[in-house]
């Protein structure tokens, strides 16, 4: 099918036996708190609804492949109708082409390569053996990419798709200049570190009361009413209530890559699950249900699954890591068919995805040269984000490092 992986990589499968230990029973307690708050009937109702809807969603994604990810030219985005914007919001990911010119992006990449070469002894990154996600935050290229007028205009527009309390709003769509890393990936080196995952916290989504409230319609039995763009509660959610290097304290309305070079399929590019609402609902409900044990029962038949809060396993979840998913732990997502390549990017194009979206990075880069992106997110003005920005300023004056709790 168009745009899916030719061979599924040997990313980890997540099982209860390999899950996070729960010696104190705290993981079970999080489940029981949600059960007590919303009730078994509501959880079961949502589970059946979401799995049924996923059947339709996965059929559509598997048929469309990469074309499920919509594309729009930079200038066209600002004249789109509300109906057209709703389609982008519903998918939760899209390409915005020509945010800067190819010539400009190519110059930025050349400058970045020179900057890295000049400061090689001081530049670190990940993975340690062959670093290509570089711990750089303030290179001239990154400063220019983050502050480009087109970027700022685009970020403000995307932030405005989220809505706060109509009577007492405390947020703004004005974008904050969030300093993230940069990537220069050479060909020929496999990288297995970023299988299907969701950022912005993992266990926090169930454990933090404010974060849990973001998803209350999912737990209440009415997942169809979940609003992925409601910032009223999310603005105070603690994404990093458990410390971990993978957790961002900053609310990024949309994460993004800005392409500094061309890149396409099998060139170490991005994979997305082009649905946000139903997929996140499934991830949140999955820990409450156990699959059928009889070989005669179809694991894809949601009615055969059993509500179970007596074990502490949250599939693909560890306190200190991002939220992961695998084909065996989250079967109804049909990940092998529905994690699709993004469209081929030209230098100066951008790809955007919602904070709750499953995404991954291709294991292999079979291309002939380096591929490079700058991470430039749409970061709205919230109180938590402003606190982080003050730390970021101090980090800059302290030597150009990134602030803790990225």
In which domain, by residue range, is 189 found? 26-292+304-397
In 10 A of CB 113, how many CB atoms? 15
On whether residue 196 sits in a domain, the answer given is yes
On whether residue 360 sits in a domain, the answer given is yes
On whether residue 222 sits in a domain, the answer given is yes
Residue 130 pLDDT: 86
- Asked if 96 and 72 touch (Cβ cutoff 8 Å), the reply is yes
Residue 1 pLDDT: 53
Residue 243 pLDDT: 82
Residue 3 pLDDT: 75
Alpha-carbon distance of 27 to 48, in angstroms, equals: 24
Over residues 371-399, mean pLDDT: 94
On whether residue 189 sits in a domain, the answer given is yes
Digit-coded pLDDT (tens) for 155-196: 999 999 999 999 889 999 999 999 999 999 999 999 998 999
CATH of the domain at 170: 2.60.120.330
| Cross-strand bridge partners of residue 227 | none
On whether residue 21 sits in a domain, the answer given is no
On whether residue 404 sits in a domain, the answer given is no
Res 209 pLDDT > 90: yes
In 10 A of CB 189, how many CB atoms? 14
On whether residue 17 sits in a domain, the answer given is no
Instruction: Please list, in sequence order, all residues whose beta carbon lies within 8 angstroms of the beta carbon of residue 141, skipping any fewer than 6 positions away.
Output: 108, 109, 111, 112, 115, 182, 260, 374
On whether residue 76 sits in a domain, the answer given is yes
Over residues 310-329, mean pLDDT: 96
What's the structural domain count of the chain? 1
- Taking CA atoms, 38 is separated from 114, 230, 352, in Å, by 56, 20, 33
Residue 403 pLDDT: 65
Alpha-carbon distance of 255 to 353, in angstroms, equals: 5
- Taking CA atoms, 120 is separated from 125, 371, 400, in Å, by 11, 18, 15
């Amino acid at each position: 099918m168009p745009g899916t992986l030719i061979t599924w990589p040997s990313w980890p499968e997540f099982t209860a036996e390999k899950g996070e230990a729960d010696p104190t029973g705290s993981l079970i307690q999080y489940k029981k708190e949600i059960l007590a708050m919303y009730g078994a009937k509501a959880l079961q109702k949502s589970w059946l609804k979401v799995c049924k809807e996923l059947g339709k969603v996965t059929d559509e994604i598997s048929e469309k492949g990469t074309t499920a990810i919509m594309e729009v030219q930079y200038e066209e985005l600002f004249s789109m109708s509300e109906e057209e914007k709703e389609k982008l919001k519903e998918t939760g990911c899209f390409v915005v082409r020509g945010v800067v010119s190819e010539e400009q992006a190519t110059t930025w990449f050349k400058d970045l390569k020179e900057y890295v070469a000049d400061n090689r002894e001081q530049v670190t990154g990940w993975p340690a053996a062959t670093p290509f996600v570089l711990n750089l935050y303030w290179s001239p290229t990154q400063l220019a990419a983050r502050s480009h007028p087109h970027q700022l205009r685009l970020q403000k527009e995307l932030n405005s798709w989220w809505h706060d309390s109509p009577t007492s709003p405390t947020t703004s769509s004005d974008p904050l200049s969030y300093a993230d890393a940069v990537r220069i990936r050479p060909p020929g080196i496999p990288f297995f570190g970023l299988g299907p995952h969701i950022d912005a916290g993992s266990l926090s989504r169930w454990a933090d009361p404010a974060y849990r409230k973001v998803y209350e319609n999912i737990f209440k039995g009415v997942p169809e009413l979940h609003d992925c763009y409601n910032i009223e509660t999310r603005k105070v959610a603690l994404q990093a209530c458990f410390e971990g290097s993978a957790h961002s304290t900053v609310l990024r309305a949309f994460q993004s890559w800005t392409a500094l070079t061309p890149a396409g399929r099998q060139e170490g590019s991005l994979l997305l699950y082009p649905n946000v609402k139903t997929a996140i609902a499934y991830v949140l409900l999955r820990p409450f249900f156990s699959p059928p044990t009889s070989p005669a029962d179809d694991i894809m038949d949601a009615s055969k699954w059993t509500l179970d809060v007596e074990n502490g396993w949250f599939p693909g979840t560890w306190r200190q890591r991002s939220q992961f998913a695998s084909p065996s732990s989250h079967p109804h997502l049909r990940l092998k068919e529905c994690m699709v390549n993004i469209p081929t990017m030209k230098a100066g194009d951008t790809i955007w995805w919602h904070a709750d979206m499953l995404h991954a990075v291709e294991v292999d880069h079979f291309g002939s040269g380096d591929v490079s992106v700058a991470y430039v997110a749409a970061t709205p003005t919230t109180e938590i984000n402003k606190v982080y920005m003050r730390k970021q300023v101090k980090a800059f004056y302290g030597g150009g490092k990134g602030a803790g709790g990225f």
